[in-house]
Amino acid sequence: MNNDITQTISRIAEIIIHELKLEDVTSQTFDPDLDLVDEVGVDSMDLATIALVLRDEYGIRIDEDDYPKLTTVRIIAEYINTKLTNGE
C-alpha cells in the first residue's frame, strides 16, 4: 500500500506539474503536503482540468462536490487509491 501511494503521489505530481506548467519543480521535489490552493495557487478550473486527466489515468470519476476536499497531492492520492480499492 505504501508503495502504491508513493507511486500515485509521484504520478499526480507529474500531472499537476505538466497541466499547470509549473516550473522549478519535479515530481520528486514536489511536496505532497503542500496546500494546492493556498500554496500552489490552484483554482477550481485548474482542479477540474486535473480531475479530467486523473479520470483518464485511473478510470475513476471525481465528484464535483469532492473538489473542496482535494487540497494536497497526498489527499488526492489517498482519494484515488480508495476509489480504486472500492472498485468505484
Partner 1 sequence: MTALAKEYKFSEIIADPVVRERWEKVRRYFFLRESTYDMSNRCNLRCEGCYYFTGEKQFAEENRDREAWRQLLEAEKARGITFVVLAGAEPSLVPELCEACYRVIPLGVIASNGMEVMPREIDYRIHISVWGNDRTSLAIRKAPDMLVRQMANYKDDARAVFVYTFTPVNIDEAREVTELLAKAGLKITFNMFSAPVGYSGPLRHTPATLARTAQVMTELLAEFPETVLYSSYNIVAHTRQQGLHALFSCSYPRMNPSTDIGLGRSFRQYRTNLQWDRDSACCVPDTDCDDCRHYAAGSAVVTARMYRHATDPLIFSAWLDYVDTYLAVWVKGYDKGANICDAPVAPPPNNGLFPV
Q: Nearer to partner 1 by C-beta: 23 or 43?
A: 43
> Which H or E run contains 10?
helix 2-19
Collect all residues with Cβ–Cβ distance below 8 Å to 77 and sequence separation of at least 6.
5, 8, 9, 12, 32
Distance of CA 68 to the CA centre of its chain: 13
Q: Does 48 bind partner 1 (CB under 8 A)?
A: yes
Number of residues that bind partner 1 (CB under 8 A): 22
Q: Does 60 bind partner 1 (CB under 8 A)?
A: no
Grid coordinates in use for 8? 500515485
Q: Nearer to partner 1 by C-beta: 47 or 73?
A: 47
Residues that bind partner 1 (CB under 8 A): 37, 41-49, 51-53, 55-56, 62-65, 67-68, 71
